[in-house]
Structure 1
Amino acid sequence: MSRLLRSLRRTQSKPRQLSFSVCLPTEIQFSIIDHFEGDILRLRRLCLICRAWASHAQLLLFGEVSLRHDNYECFLALLSTRDHLGRSVLCLHISGWRLWNEPKLCILDSISLATSLPSLHALDLSHINLAPGDVAIESGLQWSLISKLQIRFSKFTTNEAMITFIALFSRLQSLEVVQCRIEVLASNARPGALQRRIVLPEWHLKYLAFGEFPHIPLIDWMSQEPAELRVDHLRILSVGTDASALNGLLRKIGGQLKHLELPELTSRGRGQQVALSIKPCVVLSTLTFSERSSYDRGHGIIHTLLDIASPSLLRTVCFDIHLDAGYRDTLWEAIENVLIADGAFSALTTVEFRMSGIADGRASLNKLLTAGEHAVFLMKERLPILEARGLLRFHFESAPTNAEQVNDGRVISDDTQRSSKWPGQLWSWMLRQKERRQFSTL
């Protein structure tokens, strides 16, 4: 038998394969891709499927970019060859920890000269080193489009260099300055030591946060400059023994401040030169006590609540408690008496407890209860009046097990957990179907 006949017989004997194709609307496909935001490996694979998927996956891949000393040159080279990727960058993280002792940070100088990031609105800087004369300080055109600025663990040569750099961001809506160093501290304690007057932009900040000091010159500059400053949410991570600078800032912004977040506060007269006063916050609607420790027994909370003008417009009081920080020793009964006394907080609608961590090792009342359930039971028992009025709310920011994912004392159902898995299951099914087809490549 000839080869041709054998080939024909072999072709006829093969079973007929049915073709099957899946066609979903583009909007649904993009909605499924959105669920993989943050999964870099999966998004890179999706870029190789087809052009439509690549364009949308690149928006997620380059929406948030992190630059270090070892990859910023590759990023700048990529922007020079594919300028459309720069339009996808919304948030930029720059870390220069390897260049801490260098005279200036070349990463920030290079990005400040780039004009290919028109959509950039958030900038996160850590371990940077800025000095007068740097391109990043002298050029403010690029930074005028930023609406969110975060500076952490950085070093500035002088107070003037720090204030000059922050003043370049004229359209800020969110500002956070945490643990920054000033190289030259001599005769730079107050704004009067600045060599020239730096004008404060007319900011309307939705969020403002201060961490460890020395940030006193920055706070003094913001409070003493005649330009208008409005803040909706102020978070203070550290007060120290002298809160005069923060009190000056509260006198300026307290008339419009809606949300105030305070750290652990010691009681008055215990080593404090000037205590923090929140009396200027007359329209405060939310007060949060965060960064608690096992040494805080609630005295600072009580003095702060007594500092609020009566009658108060306060509607929400939040407590961040750690299950392993001895929260049981806090004077919760005394705090409850302040909240319900004489109608001073008649507008109060919610007392929220944001719990995190694990149990501190003490014996629980019931071995069948988890650490979170035990904490909820204990707080309801110690705050009976607030519980009877229906004001208590409980929220777990992080939990080690599914049993401790509690909201208002209830465990999240299994149906809710299964519903969060459907995007991945549907996407896996679509990939299996599309593997049978011939895809176009980039």
Structure 2
Amino acid sequence: MDDIYPLQACPLSKTSSVPLLLSLPFDLECAILDQVSHDFRALQACTLVCREWALLAQQRLFRFVLVNLQPGLNSDCQHCNPKELQRFLDFLDSTPRIASFILGMTIHGGSIPSLAWFIQATLSKAPRLRSLAVSFMTLDPEMASQIAPLDAPIPDAGPSPRAVLDTLEISWCEFNGAKSLFDILRLFSRIRSIRVWSCGARSGVDDTSAL
């Protein structure tokens, strides 16, 4: 970064000994950040350069998010805790600007009765979400009695136009019948591209005709 814009070359403020960065052309700022957009640590460092760079870097940091529900290696329980999902929703509530940056989300790992409520709640908080991926999950409503309940029920988002999704990818997932899958599909008025592979019904489930 010093090679691009050496701090020692910056003029000093008359009232402060701290160097002040001169503004770079906006297109150049974006080009610099785009060059490091695949380097998470570099983007984190860019958020510390100045307020303008913080905003531009956050737009790239949170463009695609991963919600990892995979249980730890030492965990005896393969069920994911709905409270982890609630914590993510609380984060979106507390940072609406960051929520507005999210264009894609991947939900990965674990077993849960349903994902529809979580996806619906996320859509209400991240309205620009256009890409959704679900991988290595088991969706089974019969697990409801085995999952720790939330401290408080999820509030109903209320009637609203269903979202449009550019891409839905579902891979390496198991479903207890077709309902768990259809509950996700019916959240959207249109899905431009659907990719489903290596998915099927859980062992002992006969309702496989729609999977």
Could you state the TM-score of these two structures normalised by the residue count of structure 1? 0.33
Structure 1, gaps ≥5 residues long: 1-17, 191-216, 219-442
Report if aligned partners of 1:127, 1:152 keep a CA contact under 8 Å in 2: yes
Structure 2, gaps ≥5 residues long: 1-7, 12-21, 71-83, 145-153
Report if aligned partners of 2:163, 2:188 keep a CA contact under 8 Å in 1: yes
Cα separation, partners in 2 of 1:132 and 1:145, compared to 1, 3 Å = farther
Q: Hey, what does 1:75 align to over in structure 2?
A: 88
Structure 1 residue 123 and structure 2 residue 142: aligned? Answer: no
Q: What amino acid is aligned across from residue 110 of structure 1 in structure 2? A: F
SS in 1 for 2:195: strand
Cα separation, partners in 2 of 1:151 and 1:50, compared to 1, 3 Å = same
Identity in percent: 23
Cα separation, partners in 2 of 1:189 and 1:56, compared to 1, 3 Å = closer
Alpha-carbon deviations, 1:35-93, whole Å to 9, x = none? Answer: 11121111111111111001110000000000012765553332122111100000000
Q: What amino acid is aligned across from residue 196 of structure 2 in structure 1? A: V
Distance 1:26 1:64 in 2: 23
Distance 1:39 1:90 in 2: 18
Given candidates 118, 124, 142, the residue that maps to 1:110 is 118
Distance 1:163 1:66 in 2: 22
Question: What is the aligned residue count?
Answer: 166
Q: Hey, what does 2:200 align to over in structure 1?
A: 181
Alpha-carbon deviations, 1:337-386, whole Å to 9, x = none? Answer: xxxxxxxxxxxxxxxxxxxxxxxxxxxxxxxxxxxxxxxxxxxxxxxxxx
Distance 2:94 2:86 in 1: 13
Q: Hey, what does 2:56 align to over in structure 1?
A: 56
Distance 1:158 1:123 in 2: 21
Report if aligned partners of 2:163, 2:187 keep a CA contact under 8 Å in 1: yes
Alpha-carbon deviations, 1:89-142, whole Å to 9, x = none? Answer: 0000001x2x32x4x15x66334224210100000001233346999xxx9968
Which runs of at least 4 in structure 1 moved beyond 6 Å after TM superposition? none
Could you state the TM-score of these two structures normalised by the residue count of structure 2? 0.65
Structure 1 residue 85 and structure 2 residue 93: aligned? Answer: no
SS in 1 for 2:33: helix
Cα separation, partners in 2 of 1:142 and 1:68, compared to 1, 3 Å = farther
Greater C-alpha radius of gyration: 1
Distance 1:140 1:128 in 2: 28
Q: Hey, what does 2:174 align to over in structure 1?
A: 155
Given candidates 156, 163, 173, the residue that maps to 1:144 is 163
Report if aligned partners of 1:47, 1:53 keep a CA contact under 8 Å in 2: yes
Cα separation, partners in 2 of 1:161 and 1:81, compared to 1, 3 Å = closer
Q: Hey, what does 2:191 align to over in structure 1?
A: 172
Report if aligned partners of 1:121, 1:148 keep a CA contact under 8 Å in 2: yes
RMSD across aligned positions (CA): 3.1
- Give the drift of 1:164: 4.8
- Give the drift of 1:162: 2.9
Structure possessing the higher relative contact order (Cα contacts under 8 Å, 6 or more residues apart):
2
Q: Hey, what does 2:19 align to over in structure 1?
A: none
Q: Hey, what does 2:46 align to over in structure 1?
A: 46
